[in-house]
Amino acid sequence: MPPDNPRRSAIDAVVRVTRDGLALEPDAGFFGQLPARERGLAREIATGTLRFLSTIDALLLSCMPRPLARGRHFLWAVMRTAMYQARWMRIPVHAAVHEAVELVKNSPDRPKAGFVNAVLRQAVLVDPTGLWSGLQDPAARLSLELSYPEWLTRRWLARIGEERTRARMEAGNREADLTLRVNTLVADRDFFIDFTNGRPFGRDGVVVDTPGPIEEIPGYREGWFAVQDGAAQWAGRLLGPAAGEEILDLCAAPGGKTTHLAALAGGKARIYAVDRSEVRLRRLRENLARLRVDGVEVVVGDAVADDYLPDMTFDRVLVDAPCTGTGVIRRHPEIKWRRGVEDPCRMAETQRRILESAARRVRPGGVLVYAVCSLEPEEGEDLIAAFLAAHPDWRRQPITVEEGVPVQAITGEKDFFSEPGYEGMDGFFLSRLCRR
């Protein structure tokens, strides 16, 4: 099988996620060797397999005379991706099984080709509802039916109940629309909507239907748009950058929010984009160049260590904090399997330190927006409540419907919170704070 085969690339990606714990990010080098159109197929197979991973595994295990060792990562990935293609992509069963067996025959696991053939031919015929229909424990049943780790299912059940948990999980299993943000520094949104036959979203967003690579959407090379979810677009808009201001964007790479801040200020603000990852900052610089954004100084720095731009303060600060990412599972299904029960509290401690550092950089009267693509209260409302209790010189600046924010996305505390899929958005928490 040639190395540029999209199905083999999908298998390799599943191995690297399940064995090495990597995320399906461009920086990790996934699918880069493939032609543009085949990258889409490889990504669809890999992400779909990871989306339904535990259900696929249960189907496979039900047909194994003896469980295959979990350390046989390649064999598991071959069977998992074949099952996804046959059951969810509607690839003909004989084609999916044949290719899987051929891949094994041409690998060091050749002696297992017969085993793979027998298991797959049985597993594709199993009625999956029989695996969970008799389970009385709601967490076990939902986890198996909707393919989520049980620890996360139990956490959500305890916090929001079974009806909302099911809705959240089902939304996370649906593929997200492709939402673009028109770069108003160089393009007109109405023209772009007509040009692409897209649908408007918010003030700057456009939802497009495209079967091909993003690079083939008209205007990509000209810098007319950036890929940015609708909820993420609210981060910059709620910060409200203006011409002449000095703005700090923390944890800025790969630059979607940085370039939005520049556009919102009409290209007339001075923006400092800080991130600790040199690799991710390369992508930020590429995005600045493609979108033709000036006035941004790119800075290598650690938001926790506060080792960047000594003694500088700013009019506005955006904190796009690292988080568990449970609000973007529909785009990154591997998150389900890369997180553990301790992660929300662990991430909250990092976020607290970043927020403390960022707050010291805000001038009196200045504004800070804290953003996470997480659904966990430890990383959102609980963190903000603790910060405000400990800092009497700060207050919440309420988010309102008058700003155009959907009413259901405004919490009782006047923060922003979106469930995955609500009005087409990812799950996000945003809080806007003002220094007295």
Q: Output the six-digit token pair for 186.
A: 């160089």
Mark whether 434 is an active-site residue: no
Active-site residue among 251, 323, 373, 434? Answer: 373
DSSP 8-state symbol, 54 = H
Closest CA to 234 of 401, 60, 39, 25: 401
Count of Cβ atoms closer than 10 Å to residue 205 Cβ? 22
Closest CA to 164 of 375, 352, 416, 343: 375
Residue type, 112: K
Written as one string, the DSSP assignment of 158-190 is HHHHHHHHHHHHHHHTSPPPEEEEE-TTT--HH
Rounded Cα gap, residues 129 and 286, in angstroms:
47
Rounded Cα gap, residues 358 and 352, in angstroms:
10
CB 84 within 8 A of CB 52: yes
Q: Output the six-digit token pair for 324.
A: 């568990």
Is 365 buried (19+), middle (13-18) or exposed (0-12) by CB count in 10 A?
exposed
Please provide residue 395's backbone torsions phi and psi, each rounded to the nearest 5 degrees: -140, 155
Rounded Cα gap, residues 219 and 125, in angstroms:
45
Intra-chain end-to-end CA distance of the chain, in Å? 64
Active site residues: 373
